[in-house]
Amino acid sequence: QKRYFDVKADVETGITTADGQPVNANERIAVVTKWLEEENPLPAGVDWQWTGDQEEQAESQAFLMKAFAGALGLMFVILLAQFNSFYNTALVLIAVVLSTTGVLIGMLVMDQTFSIIMTGTGIVALAGIVVNNNIVLIDTYQEFSQYMPRIEAITRTAEARIRPVLLTTITTMAGLAPMMFGLSLDFFGGGYSVDSPTALWWKQLATAVVFGLGIATVLTLVLTPSLLALRVWIETGAFRSVRRLQALSMGAGSRAARDLALAGAARKLGSPEILWDEEPQAPVPAGTGEDKPVEPSPLRAAE
């Protein structure tokens, strides 16, 4: 049998960091853990573990990590079924993962600690919003690319989606801004309060969504079209390299060499229009008495 001793403690008031910020429980736990493991280890046969709030926080962290990974896995399956493209699916998931940098920036700007429960819930909620914006953008691109060049389709997609994406982002951020600043409005009795207990409970979640959504909007409108264009440029460059290799290996009379020569001649044309000329018509003998309309001769492309 082992004897157990339950030691309860709290952070002493007035303890601050080097920059004058108050020390929270997690920081003190890290210091005590280092002291117990490295500087003053306990004798053999004596074990210790953190319980209470620390244990519950660790369990919540493990649950949210599994929930976020499960959400990403489910998103991957659904997006792959919708887009039928690993590349487009990866673009959406990359935007979701990178949007968490906005959450960390928000924690620094608002001088807030990272809450496993509320901030983690905000990250999971943010993933759903980011996915919606990128799905609309890529779906519009796939529709446009069916009847126009892909680079032009990317440009027109960004042009068509910038207003809806910005309006959705601005309205969401404006709606969560009072909650992020801890502002509570009393519509029935009149007046307002700042940092009330209810407002403090939702403050970290709102901060995560607002800053994360701001960064995610930039990623949606700038990074996603850029990565779509990068794929087109890589595929086009690889195709051109293969064609040049075929032309060099098969000689000047091969079809690949003729195609390259024709493409080079087409790039030298000053007009983007296709010019046509008519083949000369055979003269009609005089005095035949036939007033039949002359059928147009077939056209051929001017070389």
pLDDT tens sequence across 269-279 = 655 555 555 55
| 56-70, 168-182, 243-257, 288-302: which is most confident | 168-182
Residue that wins the pLDDT comparison between 174 and 242: 174
DSSP string, 167-199: HHHHHHHHHHHHHHTTEEE-TTT--EEES-HHH
How far is the C-alpha of 285 from the C-alpha of 123, rounded, in Å?
86
How far is the C-alpha of 253 from the C-alpha of 247, rounded, in Å?
9
**3-class DSSP state of 151:** helix
Does the pLDDT of residue 248 top 80, yes or no? no
For position 300, what pLDDT does the model report? 45
Q: Are 174 and 133 in contact (CB under 8 A)?
A: no
Confidence band of 283 (pLDDT split at 50, 70, 90): low
> Domains along the chain?
58-244 (1.20.1640.10)
User: On the CB side of 190, how many CA atoms lie within 13 Å of its CA?
Assistant: 0
Categorise residue 282: left if φ over 0, alpha if ψ from -120 to 50, beta otherwise: beta
Q: What end-to-end distance do the CA atoms of the chain give, in Å?
A: 97
Does the pLDDT of residue 116 top 80, yes or no? no
Considering only 108-117, 198-207, 260-269, which range has the smallest mean pLDDT? Answer: 260-269
Does the pLDDT of residue 176 top 80, yes or no? yes
Question: How many residues are there in the chain?
Answer: 303
pLDDT, tens only, 53-108: 666 777 777 877 887 788 888 888 888 888 888 888 888 888 888 888 888 888 88
Does the pLDDT of residue 11 top 80, yes or no? no
Categorise residue 289: left if φ over 0, alpha if ψ from -120 to 50, beta otherwise: left
Instruction: Give the rounded percent of residues in the chain with a pLDDT score beyond 70.
Output: 72
The values of phi and psi at residue 299, to 5°, are -100, 150
How far is the C-alpha of 260 from the C-alpha of 267, rounded, in Å?
11
As beta bridge partners, residue 192 has: 185
pLDDT, tens only, 136-157: 888 888 888 888 888 888 888 8
Q: Residue 180: count other Cβ atoms within 10 Å of its Cβ.
A: 22
Q: Are 92 and 72 in contact (CB under 8 A)?
A: no
Q: Residue 131: count other Cβ atoms within 10 Å of its Cβ.
A: 21
Does the pLDDT of residue 227 top 50, yes or no? yes
Mean pLDDT of 109-136: 82
